[in-house]
Amino acid sequence: MNHQAVLFERYPPTTPLLENIVWVLVYASGSALFLYTSVWAAEAYAAYCLISMYLLIPRLVCTHCAYFGQVCHSGQGLIAGVLFPKAEGEMFGSYFRFMGFASPVFLAPLIAGLVLSVFQFSWEVLVLTAIFGILALWCTRVVTKKLGCPHCKQHSICPACTRTKDSTGSIVERGSTE
């Protein structure tokens, strides 16, 4: 059975609410992991999360999105509309590279937790690292890919949606002949 998902002009408020609940759980568990190194590291991580996810990405990516100033799957389009002027929407795909600013949010605590597990082993850190990994690498992706991407007006031009893996496991753009 082949059916197309409905594209949303505005996402229902429950979608960004759920996505942001997952993100806050990621920030909290990541900060908790950094507390095992120092309070400063936990605070720096939490500050980076908030700045990158709610200021940098809305400014650098969301100002180019069709959902600018509207409720999108993450809520960042609405934040961008309140804080920044709209940029050229046709360039969304080329500005998506700035999503890389989110990488430390999802990877730094995982690396810290694994390093701590090796050099200062405790079951508490290992379990917290596993919880963080599940939240950051699985839950966030499931929420975005199941609730966000299928209903997005920019699905066809978004690099996150157009990338697929070829038979060798290499990432290629959908429709590419290479």
Tens of pLDDT, residue by residue over 128-178, are 999 999 999 999 999 988 999 899 888 888 887 765 555 565 545 444 433
Mean pLDDT calculated for residue range 10-33: 95
Q: Is position 5 within any domain?
A: no
pLDDT of residue 99: 87
pLDDT of residue 95: 83
Q: Is position 125 within any domain?
A: yes
pLDDT of residue 155: 80
Q: Which domain holds residue 132?
A: 14-173
Which alpha helices (DSSP H) does the chain contain, by range? 14-35, 39-51, 57-60, 76-83, 92-95, 103-119, 123-133, 140-143, 159-162
pLDDT of residue 90: 67
Angle 34-37-43 (CA atoms, 0-180°, nearest 5)?
Answer: 45
Mean pLDDT calculated for residue range 105-113: 95
pLDDT of residue 42: 98
Q: Is position 130 within any domain?
A: yes
Instruction: Determine the Cα–Cα distance for residues 59 and 101; give it in Å rounded to an integer.
Output: 12
Tens of pLDDT, residue by residue over 64-107, are 988 999 999 999 999 999 999 998 756 777 888 888 889 999 99
Q: Is position 138 within any domain?
A: yes
Instruction: Determine the Cα–Cα distance for residues 113 and 41; give it in Å rounded to an integer.
Output: 13
Q: Is position 178 within any domain?
A: no
Mean pLDDT calculated for residue range 40-54: 97
Instruction: Determine the Cα–Cα distance for residues 73 and 67; give it in Å rounded to an integer.
Output: 9
How many folded domains does the chain comprise? Answer: 1
* Encoded amino acid at 34, one letter: F
pLDDT of residue 68: 92
The answer to whether 57 and 102 are in contact (CB under 8 A) is yes
Q: Is position 100 within any domain?
A: yes
Whether residue 1 has pLDDT greater than 60: no
pLDDT of residue 11: 93
Instruction: Determine the Cα–Cα distance for residues 52 and 59; give it in Å rounded to an integer.
Output: 10
Q: Is position 139 within any domain?
A: yes
